Structure 1
Amino acid sequence: MISKYRTIGITAVTIASLTAVLAQTGANSVASGKREILLQTTESWNGKPYTHYPTGQPQLTTIKLTIAPHTALPWHTHPFPNVVYVLSGTLTLHDKATGKTLVVHQGQAVGESVDDVHRGESGDEPTILLITYAGTPGVPTSVPAKGEKAEY
């Protein structure tokens, strides 16, 4: 009988110790995350190199932009580098000066052009984009081309 109670006591102490350790460290384990580079580039989709960042206080801006099916955005420019990630749908980019195009599909990222007039066009379904701009406070992220409406 003493042996039985001794085993129960040792088990109870072990469980209490483990509970205390888990309470101190939390239930989550510590591990490195899995990195997947979606885009790393020194040039925009139309082949022009990024030559500089704007001067002044940095400001990152991320927007989610939804474009209705079969819709072309107005012609516009961006004053600083930005990256577009297609959450859903497809995006066809058009460069006005060269006529060059690029189709970007769901799950793909692309560096947008800086100071080049361009626009995006959706396909058969709504296109949802996540866009991150590396800009400065007070400078718009998108500038309409002459005579065009704002992109958003």
Structure 2
Amino acid sequence: MVAVLFALAFIVTIPGPPAVGQVGFKSTTILQSQTTVTGQPIEFPLFRNQFTGILLELAPGGETGVHLHPFPLAVIVLEGTVTVEMEGHPPGVFNAGQAFVETTMKALLVFAGEEGKAPLVWRAGATPVGLKATPVIQTKTTVIGQPIAFPLWGKDQLSVVAIEITPGGQAGRHQHPVPTFVYVLEGTGFTVEVEGHGQRVYSAGQAYAESMNTWHNAFNRGTGLAKVLVVFAGEDGVPNSIRP
């Protein structure tokens, strides 16, 4: 089986009653961490902030080649099983539905990076085998044109949440005080309405940077289940989402 990952470490399900306005909405937190898989503190760049998303597909027996990342990176395994070998640390094995913050990785990647700097650096002579990398997005602004600005102080934290909305369902009115990256896994009618900025419709494989500090709502106006992954570049103690 081809291993497919999404980069942005533990599996955590947060139960509780739905918020006002939520219909057919399910939210599962699969990552919330202030450190990488090897214990390094997450530190977002200070200037020229941007989100970069890359979908990696790794064939059985394949490898990415030895590399490193100069920016915080969360990795979400979409399909298959991935083994990550980190020099000086024991290997880690991750299955579909799991996530981790990368030191060295194989995945669909979301980098909280800086404009003009490469998110991956390969060691000289490293040769990828059976690896396909597809750019998903690279943006310095949100979907309504706001500049992306990662937290400057405090404890930087990456969070990943898996969202499911049934046909006709909605997320409920909310906003985000932190930079937020969204990747659509399934569905064709995932519709986001941003107050004062109209609506946009997304399908599986598309990604965008969500509006900040602006009320909006997400609807599933398609005929099948809508599934999205949401990555928050936030900080400890600051909520990723706010509801009225």
Q: Which amino acid aligns with 2:227?
A: I
Alignment pair present for 1:142 and 2:241:
yes
1:1-150 to structure 2, matched below 5 A, reads 31-32=127-128, 33-50=131-148, 52-54=149-151, 55-89=153-187, 90-96=189-195, 98-123=196-221, 124-144=223-243, 146=244
How far apart are the structure 2 equivalents of 1:92 and 1:46?
A: 14
TM score, norm. by length of structure 2: 0.45
Shift of 1:46: 1.8
Shift of 1:116: 0.7
More helix by share: 1
Counting matched residue pairs gives 117
Which structure carries more relative contact order (alpha carbon 8 Å, separation 6+)? 1
* RMSD between superposed Cα atoms in Å: 1.8
Shift of 1:45: 1.1
Q: Structure 1 residue runs of 4+, over 4 Å off?
A: 27-30
Instruction: Deviation per CA, 1:54-75: give whole Å up to 9, x if none.
Output: 2211110011111111112211
CA 1:28 to 1:103, structure 2 compared with 1: closer, same or farther past 3 Å? Answer: closer
Contact 1:63 1:130 in 2 (8 A): yes
Using the TM superposition, name which of 29-38 and 115-124 deviates more: 29-38
How far apart are the structure 2 equivalents of 1:132 and 1:99?
A: 22
The SS at the match of 1:34 is: strand
Fraction of identical pairs, as percent: 30
How far apart are the structure 2 equivalents of 1:125 and 1:34?
A: 28
How far apart are the structure 2 equivalents of 1:122 and 1:28?
A: 37
Q: Which amino acid aligns with 1:104?
A: Y
More strand by share: 2
Unaligned ranges ≥5, structure 2: 1-60, 66-126
CA 1:129 to 1:28, structure 2 compared with 1: closer, same or farther past 3 Å? Answer: closer
Q: Which amino acid aligns with 1:141?
A: N
TM score, norm. by length of structure 1: 0.70
How far apart are the structure 1 equivalents of 2:180 and 2:62?
A: 35
